[in-house]
Amino acid sequence: TADYWGIEGSFRRNADRPFGASMVALDGARLATGKDFDQQGQAREGVVVLDRESATGLVEDLRGRQLEVNSVESKPYRRRPGAPFMTSTLQQEAGRKLGFSSSRTMRAAQRLYESGYITYMRTDSTTLSGEALGAARKLIAGRFGSENLPESPRQYSRKVKNAQEAHEAIRPAGTTWKSPDQVASEVQGDAARVYDLIWRRTVASQMIDATGRTVTIRLVGDTSGGHRVEFSTSGTVITTPGFRLAYVEGEDQFDGDSQQLPDLAEGDRVDIEQLEPKGHQTTPPSRYTEASLVKKLEELGVGRPSTYASIIETIQDRGYVWKKGSALVPAFTAFATVTLLEQHFPHLVDYAFTAEMEDDLDQIAAGAREAVPWLRDFYFGPSGDEATGESANGGHDHSGLKYMVSEQLGEIDARQINSIPIGVDSEGNPIVVRVGRYGPYVQRGDDKAGIPDDIAPDELTIDRAVELLEAPSGDRVLGVDPETGVEVVARAGRFGPYVTLGLPSDDNPKPRTASLFKDMDLETVTLDDALRLLSLPRVVGTDDEGVEITVQNGRYGPYLKRGKDTRSLESEEQLFTLDKEGALALLAQPKRGRGAAAKPPLRELGPDPVSGGQILLKDGRFGPYVTDGEVNASLRKDDDPETITPERAAELIQLRRERGPVKKKARKKKATTKKKAPAKKKATTKKKAAAKKKAPARKKAAAKTVEQ
């Protein structure tokens, strides 16, 4: 990172409205901005880097002075509407505007399609049919006025590799399109919001351009210290909104001008109303989000519209990436996997592979190429023999998948592939990250330490790695369990510190574990403490009916359990001190929460985008949950009440809303008549006889398939 400062100001000419401008130059040299710094935080030559002191000094030297308008540039502004949606652009825009994941967008679109509200939603075409063009132009003329119609319908071409335009763009279905308000009254939640997006985008695509002018004003002046300063501001004045009346890409609605500027001319003097020094810090390039990843996949020709959502779902399910807000953060497992593939299967993970394969499959579909020889070449190599895998010149064809997998695996150095270098410590010892069967860990010589799940790879610096290796908060052997002879280890986990009876292994993949109490920490926990924790759950006794009563330490705190009946304990220490009488007394009391005053909310998360109600995070009887006042949704296993975002809370509420009310199981009615039983039996006998007749035919077909 690099720090740099700038100056923001507010200016006014006489009684005109004030306008804002930023300092852009000092003594003829341009002020540094974020793009002027390299990856090491060094500024390029020829730019001025202001620090806090110099920026504050310039503000003081400009106090009470005037600036002069040095130049006024006016350029025409014209913006064309975006093309109608295809699968990828719908996912991207729903991500930007609605905060939806790709899978959530496609679920909503699927519902709309199945209900007849939109056309097919898996397409990479931006073409509209004649029926759609006619419907759009009729709607625009009636709703926005014929002055917003272009002379002829707009046509959009595709610039993406291997576009298969078998379907038209995603649009409202039919020759007369239902308005978003009509659809919102018939469907709820995500589907209504996605329809509104599709309707507006399709309508806007057939409207006229938005036009206006962009004005840039430069102000110059001298400080009391003799420095020449220059400020700049710009604003866009929209004179003809055009398509922006219906839809603005990346914005929620048409918001007019970006900034209203007074009608200034060169030589005019303006007063300085306010100046403020502003500190800035460079940031790394933004991580991929689901929307930007879909855009990149589309540009590279990787995958098809129907696969984007499943690709993103798969890389998360397999632990290659994890989400931090909306950003997709790569895991160390991904680095190791990519290294293996790039070094030993390079052409299979080349960005052009999918695109080239699509071309080959298109040729096969068109009859210009045969399927079986193509598949044989891919598996055995272009000149490989099926039986031996040998090529025509007597050697092995190294490009066939069979050779790469069966012959090459023995040559792969798993340790080298699985070692991700971090650097060297102050004594010159190399530190690497390795991905083990039970997660990534950092290693220096014989020293190892697990890496917390919430550390992104770029955050694991040399200093952080050394801290993990040397800190007692890493894996720490406390001693040996006298009963089993297994080591007891204290560890830092994703959900807090805990102790475990041995580490995971092939013989013991899920060893017994226990979370530390709130007043314990990894640095001071002892073997005795750990053995007490591992002794839980503890049997307190049995009730009068012989039902066992236990005390346990759950995810949401200590509790008492008898069958399905539970009660919360007041403290963790009660897990060891509570006796049978005390347990029965607690069980005799009514459960807290029923009839008692409601607990105050833990946190307010903002308005729900569907209902408009305030989303509250609450602590309920079965753990934390979020509610908009109408729908309650429990947090999932991986949701942390401390860090849950408004977007995630809204998503949980919407998922619960889509499930609808819980349906009670209907009681089975006793049969009132037995006369129909023989008929059922007869029908069943006929089905069995028919199945027996079909069996030889199925077997014959199966045998033929095996031969092929």
Could you list the active site residues? 120
Region label for 538, one of left (φ > 0), alpha (ψ between -120 and 50) or beta (otherwise): beta
Closest by CA position to 684, among listed 695, 674, 692, 672:
692
3-state SS class at 419: strand
309: part of which helix (H) or strand (E)?
helix 308-317
Q: Partners of 515 in the beta sheet?
A: 498
Amino acid at 95: G
Nearest-angstrom CA–CA distance, 581 and 654 = 45
Q: Which long-range contacts (CB under 8 A, 24 or more apart) does 358-362 make?
A: 358/162, 358/164, 358/301, 359/162, 362/162
Q: Where are the beta strands (DSSP E) in 60-157?
A: 66-79
Nearest-angstrom CA–CA distance, 19 and 377 = 68
Nearest-angstrom CA–CA distance, 206 and 200 = 10
> Look-up: residue for tokens 């960005």?
351
Closest by CA position to 497, among listed 480, 477, 474:
474
3-state SS class at 690: helix
Q: Partners of 632 in the beta sheet?
A: 627
Q: How far is CA 702 from CA 1, 690, 694, in A?
A: 64, 18, 12
Under a CB-based contact definition with an 8 Å cutoff, are residues 229 and 25 in contact?
A: yes
Nearest-angstrom CA–CA distance, 429 and 78 = 60
Q: What is the DSSP string of 56-71?
A: HHHHHHHTT-EEEEEE
Amino acid at 109: A
Q: Where are the beta strands (DSSP E) in 114-227?
A: 210-222
Under a CB-based contact definition with an 8 Å cutoff, are residues 519 and 525 in contact?
A: no
Structure tokens at 243: 């398509």
Let me know if 55 is exposed, middle or buried by CB neighbors in 10 A (0-12, 13-18, 19+): buried
